[in-house]
Copies of this chain bind each other. A is one copy, B any other.
Amino acid sequence: MANTKEDKANSSNRKRRAKPKKSLQRYYDSEHGIRNHWWPGLFSYELKEDDVKGITIAGERIGLRRANGKVYGFRDQCVHRGVRLSQQPTCLTKKTVSCWYHGFTYNLKDGKLCDIVASSNDPLIGRTGIRTFPVKEYCGIIFVFVGDEDFKTPPLTDDLPFKLPKNEPLRAPCIQDKDALALGIHRECIGDWRLAAESGGDPGHIMIHRNSALVLALDIALSLGEPVSGVDSMLIRDEKWPKGVTKYFDNIEPVMHRDDLNIHTYGKTPPYGLRVSLCLPAILFVENWPQPGMTQYEWYVPVKKGYHQYWQVLVKNCPDEMAKEDFTMRYKNAWEDLALKDGFNDDDIMAREAQEDFYNNRNGWDEEQLFSMDQFVVEYRKMVHKHARGVQPPPDKL
């Protein structure tokens, strides 16, 4: 008869690798997100004059309201009974937002409680309020600074990927260009925001895309991997903001066949100028993708434990109205499906979901075994650990 002791011994004999986690402790602790960064909240067109909409970033419930064209951000939780103001926008003036429940009314500028519909002389008026969030509209996207109220807000461009000099030979469009047009989608997906960022930037997962419509239609020669570990082709930029790590794909000879393993890819056109960067807070920046002369941005915005808002944006330089119309037409009719949805990126969503159980329920962060091509991802981890401006606490501590 085996006894309980034996059972325990059997169980503990199964090998546990004690991982030197502490070196990246802040990264491992940031399951709820990182703090004091700019994140995209909504596209500008999603918030019309007098709209009030609620979003959740890193567990923070944030209300966004447009009044006289300007967008205001505030804690989307009435101080009274904690309901979301955005649930039933009601009783609005251009200077205030009110709760639909008892009419607690807050100044948009500073969040102070300035009136209560049900009790206009209430002693609580003027003595409390909701916090506000810095908001900046940029290139058709409403960005929100999610952080401490007393934190000195950095410029938004510190949290956007590098703007390269115009004379850089392989330069692709970027969102800071004056003639940039950014078109895209966002959607809530299953998956820790970190796993989303890692799997987006991961240079070794090309296998899952090899039969995708985008790759086949454009006949792109995607490499199954690399003969060498690729550290040479990596550039780490963490001296000033923005901070990120970049990988160059131009000097790689694509591996198209592994006949011994019964797998191959199809395309004939090597990618031109393709560079992949993973930047703080959690932005993928793919230059000259899905075609040379375009750039794909992705944000992996923490929502709540195990979920992120997946932002996918294509950028092109459009110097005039005709160019804008042309890109808009092509985006709507081709690129949105072909590049951002089931023609390519939906495979990434599947791969993220596939990792959730391991990392959430089965000690994945301890037990994962990384290989050489993960060095890119590890550099991003280090960057978050060292340079994130704060680690987000769990929702009940907000």
Name A residues whose Cβ lies closer than 8 Å to a Cβ of B.
1-4, 6-7, 10-11, 13-14, 25-26, 29, 35, 77, 79-84, 87, 90-93, 96, 98, 100-105, 115-124, 128, 148, 150-151, 204-208, 224-229, 255, 258, 260-263, 351, 354-355, 357-359, 361-364, 367-373, 386-391, 393, 395-398
Contact = CB atoms under 8 A, between A and B. Distances in A.
Given A354-B87, A358-B81, A397-B11, A261 B371 contact: no
B358 A115 contact: no
Given A79-B369, A83-B354, 14 more contacts: A1-B386, A14-B148, A82-B358, A82-B359, A90-B207, A98-B263, A117-B207, A117-B224, A118-B204, A118-B207, A118-B225, A120-B255, A122-B372, A362-B396
B117 A263 contact: yes
A221 to B, nearest CB: 15
Given A118-B224, A124-B369, A396 B80 contact: no
13 contacts: A1-B386, A2-B390, A4-B29, A7-B26, A10-B151, A81-B355, A83-B358, A91-B263, A93-B262, A103-B207, A117-B207, A117-B258, A118-B371
B2 A389 contact: yes
A263 B115 CA distance: 13
A371 B80 contact: yes
A226 B118 contact: yes
A355 B227 contact: no
Given A13-B148, A119-B225, A361-B396, A102 B261 contact: no
Work out how many copies of this chain go into the complex.
3
A355 B80 CA distance: 10
Given A14-B398, A128-B369, A395-B361, A207 B119 contact: no
Contacts of A390: 2, 6-7, 10
A205 B398 contact: no
A351 B14 CA distance: 37
Contact of A119 (B81, B84, B373): B373
A258 B102 CA distance: 13
Nearest to A363: B396
A148 B7 CA distance: 10
B80 A262 contact: no
Contacts of A35: 7, 10
Contact of A101 (B11, B207, B364): B207
A363 B398 CA distance: 10
Contacts of A115: 260-261
A101 B205 contact: yes
Nearest to A84: B354
A340 to B, nearest CB: 21
The 3 tightest CB contacts between A and B, nearest first, are A82-B358, A118-B225, A118-B204
A80 B370 contact: yes
A397 to B, nearest CB: 6
Contacts of A90: 207, 263
Contact of A121 (B81, B118, B227, B393): B227
A225 B229 CA distance: 70
Contacts of A355: 81-83
A103 to B, nearest CB: 5
Contacts of A81: 355, 358, 364, 368
Contacts of A357: 82
A395 B103 contact: no
A3 B214 CA distance: 43
